[in-house]
Structure 1
Amino acid sequence: MSSYVILIERADDGGFGAWCPDLPGCVALGDTYDECVTEMREAVAFHLAGLRDAGEPIPAPTAIGSDLIAA
């Protein structure tokens, strides 16, 4: 089983958006951080199932983590 890094950003309206660098076009939104993560898990599963159904290759994860840097 592969693990994909997702990046989560706070939206101007207070909600959250997530995306996956290794799966272009795979995104999710949520009103809360936890909702966004749950939606993104489902989006990744759906995205990968679509690739499999289309006979497309499954991208190997290349991102290995994320960190917060104070500036």
Structure 2
Amino acid sequence: MTKLRYPVLVSPLLPEDGGGFLATVPDLPGCMSDGETPQDAISNVQDAIESWIEAAHDVGRDISQPSLQAALG
């Protein structure tokens, strides 16, 4: 698996929300994905990060650099 440049927060989803895990990227507002396991959620969020950055480029939106947490990881 490729090392993530941006820090990712993984949290469990409630059963009424479908269960599994949610991965969010605090440095990229609205960038998230989910998966059956924490590893699945992290793997899936890598695609979401690429798509988020591509869409931001397309509309001329600034893309924040990874926060210090990711740089130290």
- TM tier, smaller: 0.7 to 0.9
The aligned residue for residue 5 of structure 2 is 3
User: Under a length normalisation based on structure 2, what TM-score does the superposition of the two structures give?
Assistant: 0.77
Aligned residue among 9, 22, 31 for 1:26: 31
The aligned residue for residue 50 of structure 2 is 45
C-alpha distance after superposition, 1:29-61 (max 9, x if no partner)? 111122111110000010000001112111112
Residues paired across the two proteins, number = 64
RMSD: 1.7
Greater helix content? 2
Moved over 2 A (4+): none
* Structure 2 unaligned regions, length at least 5: none
Identical-residue share of aligned pairs (%): 30
Provide the rounded CA distance (Å) in 2 between the counterparts of 1:29 and 1:39: 7
User: Under a length normalisation based on structure 1, what TM-score does the superposition of the two structures give?
Assistant: 0.79
Q: Which amino acid aligns with 1:8?
A: V
